[in-house]
Structures are given as structure tokens and as C-alpha cells.
Amino acid sequence: MSDRFVPRKPQLTQDHVARVWRQVTDTDGAPPLRPLSQDDKSRVADDLLVQKGDDPFWIFAIGSLIWKPSFEHVERRRCIALGWRRSFCLELTNFRGTPEQPGLMLALALARGGSCVGVAYRMPEDAPHARMMRLLDREIDYHEDVPWMRWLTLRGEGQAFRALAFYCAPRTSASLMHLSLNEEADRMAFAVGEAGSCAEYLHNTVTHLENLGIRDSYLWRLQDMVAARIEALHPDLVV
């Protein structure tokens, strides 16, 4: 981050988000995937902790975990993952979308020469299995989600360290979408589900990153395009 970084107000605002909002009840739009039982999640937790070994327990946050971590942590540090980038590349037909108007979910996509700046949280050392289970309950629901988790090597505060990241795109996945930025903006501007809108998620993520001195150029362009689409349908919107 440059010492001269000056936070800016994103074009996409709460007023834009309010224009998109509408009440959406459960649409039964959940994808036809295989749910994980608690026993399944316990086995996944054990496997992830074996992969962690004796390293400290770090979590890498790129989106909602930054502004809604919902877990205890004893340290937070800004860090970077090389070879990855943020991407709205997972289709949502529930949660923040519907089958009729699908939304998109943020993930990490492989990107040669790319990078993703985020926040790493170090977990307390006690009860690692219970802490991992709480994370899995928050982040994953299906067997198909498991390959999207991995330990990444990050750099932060002059050190290299490993952290668990959720929704890192596997090299081959039928779930991975390859949309243009215009197509992404079309979806993000208007998709709403029972958990809220994609525009709300984008606004929260960009705002909190900006407050931390992190300006992701991809998200910055996307929020600008989403705001313009909402304004086109609401000419009276004061910006």
C-alpha cells in the first residue's frame, strides 16, 4: 500500500442497495448437491488440521470474513496471496439469487502473475477441532464445497505463512463460471435472494476493503458498473 493511499467513497452506495432490495422468501433454488452431515464435517476438519500440522491456525479472508468474521482471533494482519485473484465466478440460485435471476458468489481464481490482498486472522491455540467445525458450519454445506478449500502460502509483515482459504477455484470445476465483466455486472446489479442482494455484498466488501487501505481494481470497476446499471433504472437516484 502506498503511504499516500487516500480512501475514496465507492460509487455503489447504500442508496443503490436500497433500490435493489426486495423481499425474497425461500425459493427452493438450492443446487442439486450432496449435503454434508456433521460427521462428514468432522472428518473434513480432522483432515484440514492434519494438513495444517504444527503451523499456527490462520484464516485468509477476502470478502465477508473481513467484515463479518464471526470467530475469535488473537491477531489480524494484512497479507497477499500471489497467483490468485478475486472473482465472482460461482453461480447462486439461492441465498443471494434465485433460479429466475441467479447471482454470483466471490471466490479466488487462479491467475498467473495475479495477486489478492486480504486479511489473515490467527485463531487461538486451544480447541482447534471445535474452531474448525465452527468455520465449516459457516462456510460449507456440501461435499462439492470441500475441494474449494486449501491452505495457501501468504506474505504479510515480512513473513511467509500458511492460512486456510475458502472457495479457491480448483483447476477443473464444472461450477466455475467464466463471464465477462459486463455479464458479471448485469447479475450483481439485480440478483436478490433470501439472504439479501449481490449489490449489498459487493458494497460491503468494497467499503471494508477501502477502509483497510485495500483497493482491488477488479472490485472497484465492478461496483462502478453495478451502480451505473441501478441508476439507469432509477433516474431519480441522487448520487
Q: Which residues are the active-site residues?
A: 139
Rounded CA separation 111/218 (Å): 13
- C-beta contacts of 167-174 below 8 A and 24+ residues apart: 167/90, 167/105, 167/106, 167/107, 167/108, 167/139, 168/84, 168/107, 168/108, 169/87, 169/89, 169/107, 169/108, 169/109, 169/110, 171/110, 173/147, 173/148
Please, what is the end-to-end C-alpha distance for the chain in angstroms? Answer: 28
Residue 114, sorted as left (phi over 0), alpha (psi -120 to 50) or beta, turns out to be beta
Burial profile 49-83: b = 16 or more Cβ within 10 angstroms, e = fewer: eeebeeeebbbbbbbbbbbebeeebeebeebebee
SS (H, E, C) 165-196: ECCECCCCCCCECCCCHHHHHHHHHHCEECCE
